[in-house]
């Protein structure tokens, strides 16, 4: 069986059995008058729900929280992090001055600023420097980034391979998915 055309009659199982480009998902959603924003995984979930129920999933809208504490114009190590602070360019400049040009907002620091209300920037610096001393764990790649996950795995399994080889292998996988089951019937 060849890959079905994505339309209202596509079964959820058929839909989930095949690889779809994000553009194809967006095209289907537009044709149905459904929202097209979000990650590839969110679009896939939205389409699957639609194919099962025939309706849009009613999720409560995410309200953008207003900053409750204004960020100061200048920072010091004694500054207390307020609710709603963000990782701004001014804050980056402060950390680069205090830590060095090698500073970057990583997940540890973003979380510290986001959830660290009431803590000082000194504590943020200590936390960041401690995290830099830890061995680097391999970062996970979200499910919607299949191509990126494939490239990483390809290089793990084929040390010394060229990028073009990994891309060629990806193109073979995509072609096999497109033709999945062809000739079975």
| Minimum mean pLDDT range among 58-72, 137-151, 165-179 | 58-72
Burial pattern 111-124, b for ≥16 Cβ within 10 A else e, equals ebbeebeebebeeb
Percent of residues, the chain, with pLDDT higher than 90? 38
Instruction: pLDDT band for 69, please (50, 70, 90 cuts).
Output: low
- Whole-angstrom Cα distance, residue 131 to residue 1? 51
Residue 67 predicted with pLDDT over 80: no
Instruction: For the chain, give the mean pLDDT.
Output: 85
Alpha carbon dihedral 65, 69, 73, 76, in 10-degree steps, equals -120
pLDDT at 136: 74
- The answer to whether the beta carbons of residues 29 and 40 sit under 8 Å apart is no
Of residues 41, 60, 36, 47, the one with CA closest to residue 6? 47
Report which of residues 152 and 13 the model is more confident about. 152
Instruction: pLDDT band for 183, please (50, 70, 90 cuts).
Output: very low
Residue 182 predicted with pLDDT over 80: no
pLDDT at 155: 93
Annotate the chain with three-state secondary structure.
CCCCCCCCCCCHHHHHHCCCCHHHHHHHHHHHCCCCCCCHHHHHHHHHHHHHHCCCCCCCCCCCCCCCCCCCCCCCCCCECCCCCCCCHHHHHHHHHHHCCCCCCCHHHHHHHHHCCCCEHHHHHHHHHHHHHCCCCCCCCCCCCHHHHHHHHHHHHCCCCCHHHHHHHHHHHHHHHHCCCCCCC
Positive or negative CA dihedral for 3, 8, 11, 12? positive
22-46 mean pLDDT:
90
């Amino acid at each position: 069986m060849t890959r079905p055309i994505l339309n209202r009659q596509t079964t959820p199982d058929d839909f989930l059995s095949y690889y779809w480009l994000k553009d194809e998902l967006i095209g289907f959603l537009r044709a149905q008058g459904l929202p097209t924003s979000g990650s590839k995984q969110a679009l896939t979930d939205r389409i699957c729900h639609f194919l099962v129920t025939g309706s849009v999933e009613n999720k409560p809208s995410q309200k953008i929280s207003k900053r409750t504490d204004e960020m100061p114009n200048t920072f010091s190590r004694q500054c207390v992090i307020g609710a709603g602070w963000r990782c701004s360019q001014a804050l980056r400049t402060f950390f680069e001055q205090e830590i060095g040009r090698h500073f970057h907002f990583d997940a540890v620091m973003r979380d510290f600023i986001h959830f660290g209300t009431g803590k000082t920037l000194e504590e943020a610096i200590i936390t960041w420097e401690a995290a830099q001393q830890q061995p680097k764990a391999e970062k996970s790649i979200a499910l919607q980034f299949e191509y990126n996950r494939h490239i990483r795995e390809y290089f793990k399994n084929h040390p010394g391979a060229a990028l073009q080889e990994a891309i060629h292998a990806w193109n073979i996988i995509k072609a096999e998915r497109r033709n999945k089951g062809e000739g079975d019937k």
